[in-house]
Structure 1
Amino acid sequence: MDKQAFLAIITQHQGMLYKLCRLYRDTPEDREDLFQEMIYQLWKSFPSFKGNAKISTWIYRIALNTALASFRKKHLPVTYTDTFPEIAQPDHGDNEQQELFFTALKQLSDAEKAIITLYLEDMSYQEIAGIIGIEENYVGVKLNRIKNKIKSLLNL
């Protein structure tokens, strides 16, 4: 396995992973644990990536499944700090507006979180449909409903 290629891919797509961690965990410590679990699961699966899908699609599927599985287990995942010390979460300097937005996102269902996260990653309706497993034209309908729900939650 090519560790350098893996680290380059993770570095390129770490923003998506951080967003998922923020949606599924409340504390910085829990987010870090989830991030590390995602990295571990991606590393374990990396040799089986065949290139049939875009790398971002593959990463998202594994990361989302990891977030949902660990969320349902109701316990913190094992940490893997010694495995990938080269990957460090940057300090994003959260502001109040971001906090309000993420608080609203956390109130969405798991399916809604998944769709809006992909949308925020600038994925096309076709890509979102392929990852989520719904029809492409239904993605737009779902996104409009999710956006309206977020506006309502934010009292806009």
Structure 2
Amino acid sequence: MCKDLKDKYVELIQQNEGIIYKVINLHIDNTEDKKDLFQEILLQAWKSFPKFEERSSFTTWLYRVSLNTVFTFRKTTNKKVETSVESLPDIKSIELNEKPHELLYLLIKQLDKVDRTIMTLHLDSYKNKEIAEILGINVNHINVKIHRLKNQIIESYKKSTHG
């Protein structure tokens, strides 16, 4: 692999490593699994980088590599790595005035893996077309899902704060 390609890869990863952490943290709870997955995503991205044709942005491509790696990990391990509602902190214990983002994060973590990913990408200001590209889903389906997920999160918020 040529030095320029390696340097470009390292620079892009350093600029965008937050994407990798975000994907891992939304889908995995175990600290050791998170560390292993970070390394695995870097490896998978490195292997695929020479084929990156820049038809999409690097961030879109990195999200896709990260998600595919996490989903493959979840399929191939026998451990239960899905976040369960029981393993989450009590929503009522969060001080809404101090940390409203924590409540939103917890509500999103309660969604299934695809819905969780859609909402995270939406909140990261990805366009619906980009979200569809990352997930390989029809853009109209994304439009409907986002509308429904917003309503679902609002209802969950209301239930958690008003009983």
TM-score range (shorter-chain normalised) is 0.7 to 0.9
**TM-score by structure 2 length?**
0.72
Partner of 2:128 in structure 1?
125
For the 8 Å contact 1:16–1:121, the answer to whether it is kept is: no
Structure 1, unpaired ranges of 5+: 77-94
Higher-RCO chain (CA-CA 8 Å, sequence separation at least 6): 1
Structure that is richer in helix per residue: 2
For the 8 Å contact 2:19–2:62, the answer to whether it is kept is: no
Structure with bigger gyration radius? 2
Structure 2, unpaired ranges of 5+: 80-97
Q: Deviations over 1:94-135 (max 9, x none)?
A: x96555433322221121122112112211111112222333
Query: How far apart are 1:39 and its partner, in Å?
Result: 0.9
In 2: Cα distance, 1:153 partner to 1:22 partner: 21
For the 8 Å contact 2:23–2:63, the answer to whether it is kept is: no
| Cα distance change on mapping 1:52 and 1:143 into 2, 3 Å | same
**TM-score by structure 1 length?**
0.75
Identical pairs, percent: 38
Count residues with an aligned counterpart.
Answer: 138
Secondary structure of the structure 1 residue equivalent to 2:68: helix
RMSD: 2.3
For the 8 Å contact 1:104–1:150, the answer to whether it is kept is: yes
